[in-house]
Chain A
């Protein structure tokens, strides 16, 4: 539509799959990712010298005297004003100063104009490290075999209690009264099942590795790069450089994927580049190659869950006790928040009368684990889903019947005591996925063996909290600015980044419909800490649901003013806008998020409304297992997913299918392999993510149980949910096909063979 043309009412765009705004530039190669940004005058390349040792005392740094260092900038810990990466706990240095705590820990930074010389310079640095015994195993860390962090290696603990286990709050207690109470509650049940489940590391493997360009000028420090959360980097600069907020300018470049991997890590690479830039006086570009990126940056937290549960003979779930450990890696980074989400999802999408969940994150001498799509929930959902499969087996029932019987419904109460008042769609998703996949008939038929392959089918039911946990949004105070622009256009300024998931497009759709204008009459500013307000981080499935609702309200507000002007003095939307601007100067609506008033949450007791609402889903996987090689092929994948309201159905399905494929990779082929704290497969050739040929046929059913406070008529968070169900659905299908119940990920042929041989040995 030509803007300014008389009273043409644009068609609503919410619910329509408008093309991605950023699509053309990305497919034609016009989009400038950080490594494509034009070279700045005098620019240098930056590189990092990293520890080859997992744990030790840093005695010194030797520079090869035979090497010509004259054109190489060198930064060490002593050069840094405040040597701390600002996050939750101040335990991580920007550069190791006295100790190293994991292999690949950064120790020295180098910059040089000649990239080949820079590579040689890295080799001309020797780190004198006196090794100390490292701890790689989370249970050994918990057992305090060595104290490697703080007083007891523990990074964070939580305790959730409900019902009879809710005897008193005892954070930190291992065998307190609540443990006795839950044990008693379980012991009184008809059927008791115990299991142990393990979930492994996962690499985000965004297509674009991490990178930043940093420089200093009279305005202060600048950094531009592949960044998910510009204000995190801003905060890190404030702390490290002791700079005023307005002297720091962090801008997102076009970003090729993040999946959480670019949530907290960019602070480190940006600090490194800025330190080199500060010392050299020149702009510095740091771009990791794939190997360095896989080795040094964060991964999904490994997690062990020990679960004991009790239920009635008729399958009614009663009591649940979980003891879980997460491996935080060498520094705390975001581990407390990941552990929190993992803990809050550990009871699954089910009703339990009595619950006790005790969770602990411990340090190990491995690179810090961090944010990854799902944020701890896929690990605990893996465990509870596998556990319920085991309970069903013991009851002699199909798992889906047990899950259907116990899935949370409207009015039910979660493990934190949250009453689910509305937008509860677990049962609906289950029904739709089961129907579409013909699950019941296929289960009843048993595994289909043809030739040397066996086919099986399995399902997982799950929910995922949308938005920040508990009172998070209240502290966060996310803001968005929407400008009223000449001719009746709107300009969105937000720190929420489009990292490939489609934020730019969806925000435009939301704003356009709220204002009653066309999508292409809405602009989206490049996220920058200098020009955009802090909308909170682009994480936690909160962008559309939370930030989108601010966008919606701001657009509504501006449109109301323009429409009032039209009422009063006539003309088109565009003309009225121009009159308003002429009269009042620039007009902006700067709004802050108003969290739903019904939310109550107690951070000390971990009770209340953990999330404003949940997305719900049921995944069904049909697999073929080769009986000779135990290769698992996921043939078909059904997902019925409740998104509240699909703002852009094609992109929404894209998130679900992409997330499901990421879950499939995590389940069957992705595995970080380690030797002495070194990663032995830091390449795309041997860290095996699925290719398009490995993708199953996806059948995605969008379920819409709107959230009253969600934008566009009820949108909920969708980013993380699709990561949760793939692994347990596939494991259930593998169990159906070949009778091997796998409790540990990944389901590689090597592991399935070993498990089968072990079970044959015990049954023999």
Chain B
């Protein structure tokens, strides 16, 4: 099948987030799913992969223009990014450039410019794939996800979001509204390195996102997220503990390798091998820590 052969489906827009929550809740109660069409870059691929067997066309709600899901704002120490923000908007945002530059760098590595212009952070988080670049970057910032349903609004810490391969603690009727993060002081070091099979349109074999605050040779804040090395985005608890517990200059390569090995469980798949991913996971982590001052 090609996309041109998609079954007809109904596509609507809702006037407000509350109205959207109501529609989703009502259908949810009847056991029906609602597709929230943000950029469509994950959903359309799924449609192409599956034969058009359903006779009941799905309801697709275009949320691309929903005001409540859009906008980037800095209030005090909290940077709030609407779920409907595209990668290109991240790249072009002066606030994000200044306060969360790693997100800008990450966004430039997503797909190619066409995907960056359509794909959204919300879609990336909703799919919650371990291969999602945006999720890893947000994990490194220890961001919080704001979700809303007819039952009300709540916040989910990145650490609590993913529970298994493409599984999350977000309920099926919860809409992702925004992400919030506490940006490190301006000028703080950050790291983004994506290893894919080519320079664009490549899903990560491995990617590493990192943010840190270093005071007197010791990291006082250190967050990382690694892509495609575990069933969920790897938050690298052992590595984080190692780095936060010690002067950077004293951390050895062996300690890093050992910690990384604890933190990742990569597999062979169509994109790469477990062995290669383990090697790259160690090499990128060393590279990150080298840049922070570790002598490795």
Q: Answer yes or no: A691 CB below 8 A from chain B CBs.
A: yes
Chain A residues with CB below 8 A from B2, complex form: 289
A281 close to chain B: CB less than 8 A: no
User: How many Å lie between the Cα of A688 and that of B276 in the bound state?
Assistant: 17
B7 touches A116 (CB 8 A): yes
B271 within 8 A of A: yes
A694 touches B199 (CB 8 A): yes
B270 with A629: CB separation less than 8 A? no
CB-based nearest A residue for B277? A750
In this assembly, does B124 line the interface, its C-beta being within 8 Å of a C-beta of chain A?
Answer: no
B75 part of interface (Cβ distance < 8 Å): no
Q: Does B265 contact A (CB under 8 A)?
A: no
The interface residues of chain B lying within 8 Å CB-to-CB of A691 are: 112, 198-201
B139 CB to closest chain A CB (Å) equals 21
B-side contacts of A500, CB under 8 Å: none
Q: How many residues of B contact A (CB 8 A)?
A: 28
Whether B198 contacts A669 by the Cβ 8 Å rule is yes
Contact B203 A685, beta carbon cutoff 8 Å: yes
The CA-CA distance from A688 to B205 in the complex, in Å, is 13
* CB-contacts of A102-134 with B (<8 A): 115-116, 119-120, 123
A interface residues, how many (CB within 8 angstroms): 27
Closest to B279 in A: A753
Contact A629 B280 (CB under 8 A): yes
B202 contact set on A, CB distance < 8 A: 688
Q: Does A680 contact B (CB under 8 A)?
A: yes
B112: shortest Cβ distance to chain A, in Å? 7
> Is the Cβ of A119 less than 8 Å from the Cβ of B51?
yes
A residues 708-761 in Cβ contact with B at 8 Å: 748-750, 753-754
Tell yes or no: B272 within 8 A of A by CB: yes
Total number of residue pairs linking A and B with CB closer than 8 Å: 66
B5 touches A693 (CB 8 A): no
- Asked whether, in the complex, the Cβ of B195 is within 8 Å of the Cβ of A629, the reply is yes
Q: Find out whether the CB atom of A754 lies under 8 angstroms from the CB atom of B275.
A: yes
Q: Knowing A115-B5, A628-B283 touch, does A120 contact B198 (C-beta < 8 A)?
A: no
**Closest beta carbon of chain A to B296's beta carbon, Å:** 12
CB of B3, distance to nearest CB on chain A (Å): 10
Alpha-carbon separation in the docked complex, A753 to B195 (Å): 14
Which of the residues B1, B53, B284 comes within 8 Å of A628, measured between beta carbons? B284
A673 lies within 8 A of B270 (CB)? yes
In the complex, what residues of B have CB within 8 A of residue A754's CB? 275-276
Q: Does A681 contact B (CB under 8 A)?
A: yes
User: Do A686 and B287 touch (CB < 8 A)?
Assistant: no
A445 at the interface (CB under 8 A from B): no
Complex Cα distance, B48 from A119, in Å, reads 12
> In the complex, what residue of chain A is closest to B202 when comparing beta carbons?
A688
Which among A289, A452, A629, A688 is the interface contact of B198 at CB below 8 angstroms? A688
B32 in contact (CB, < 8 A):
no
A-contacting residues, B87-118, CB 8 Å = 112
- Given the complex, which residues of B lie within 8 Å of A688, measured CB to CB? 197-198, 202
Most chain A Cβ neighbours within 10 Å, of B5, B7, B203: B5
CB-CB under 8 A from A289, the residues of chain B are 1-2
Give the secondary structure class of B's interface. loop
Return the CB mask of B278-296 against A: 1 if under 8 Å, else 0.
Answer: 0110011011000000000
* Minimal Cβ-Cβ distance residue in B for A123: B51
CA gap between A754 and B274 in the complex, in Å: 12
A235 to B259, CA, bound (A): 65
Nearest A residue (CB) for B286:
A628
Q: Which residue of A lies closest to B283 (CB)?
A: A628
- Does residue B273 face the partner (Cβ distance < 8 Å to A)? yes
In contact, A119 and B52 (Cβ under 8 angstroms) = yes
Given A116-B7, A116-B52, A680-B270: A749 in contact with B276 (beta carbons within 8 A): yes
Contact with A along B32-57 (1 / 0, CB 8 A): 00000000000000000001110000
User: In the complex, are the beta carbons of B199 and A669 less than 8 A apart?
Assistant: no
- Measured between beta carbons, the chain B residues less than 8 angstroms from A669 are 197-198
Residues of A within 8 A of B7 (CB): 116
Q: Contacting B1 at CB < 8 Å: which of A119, A748, A753?
A: A119
**Chain A residues near B279 (CB, 8 Å)?**
753
B271: contacting residue among A115, A452, A684, A686, CB under 8 A: A686
Contact with A along B227-258 (1 / 0, CB 8 A): 00000000000000000000000000000000
Beyond A120-B53, A673-B270, A750-B273, whether A693 also contacts B283 by CB under 8 A is no
- List of B residues within 8 angstroms of A115 by Cβ: 1, 5
A631 at the A/B interface (Cβ < 8 Å)? yes
Tell me whether A690 is interfacial, beta carbon within 8 Å. yes
Shortest distance from the beta carbon of A91 to any chain B beta carbon, whole Å: 32
Proximity bits, A445-485, B CB within 8 Å = 1, else 0: 00000001000000000000000000000000000000000
Residues of B close to A753: CB separation below 8 A: 275-276, 279
Given contacts A116-B7, A628-B280, A691-B112, contact A750 B51 (CB under 8 A): no
B275 contacts across to A, CB distance below 8 A? 750, 753-754
Instruction: Give chain B residues whose Cβ lies under 8 Å from the Cβ of A748.
Output: 197
Contact B198–A693 (Cβ < 8 Å): yes
Which partner residue on chain A sits nearest B45 by CB separation?
Answer: A685
Which of A116, A120, A686 contacts B270, CB < 8 Å? A686
Once the chains are docked, how many angstroms separate the CA of A688 from the CA of B203? 11
Interface 1/0 per residue, A248-282 and B, CB below 8 Å: 00000000000000000000000000000000000
Besides A119-B5, A669-B197, 18 more A-B contacts (Cβ < 8 Å) are: A116-B5, A116-B52, A123-B51, A289-B2, A628-B284, A628-B286, A628-B287, A629-B283, A673-B270, A685-B203, A691-B112, A691-B198, A691-B200, A693-B112, A693-B198, A694-B200, A750-B275, A754-B275
Name A's B-contacting residues (CB within 8 A). 115-116, 119-120, 123, 289, 452, 628-629, 631, 669, 673, 680-681, 684-686, 688, 690-691, 693-694, 748-750, 753-754
What 3 pairs between A and B have smallest CB-CB spacing?
A628-B283, A693-B199, A688-B197
Interface CB pairs A-B, < 8 A, 26: A116-B7, A119-B51, A119-B52, A120-B53, A123-B53, A289-B1, A628-B280, A628-B283, A628-B286, A628-B287, A629-B280, A629-B284, A669-B197, A686-B270, A688-B202, A691-B198, A691-B199, A691-B200, A691-B201, A693-B198, A694-B199, A694-B200, A748-B197, A749-B276, A750-B275, A754-B276
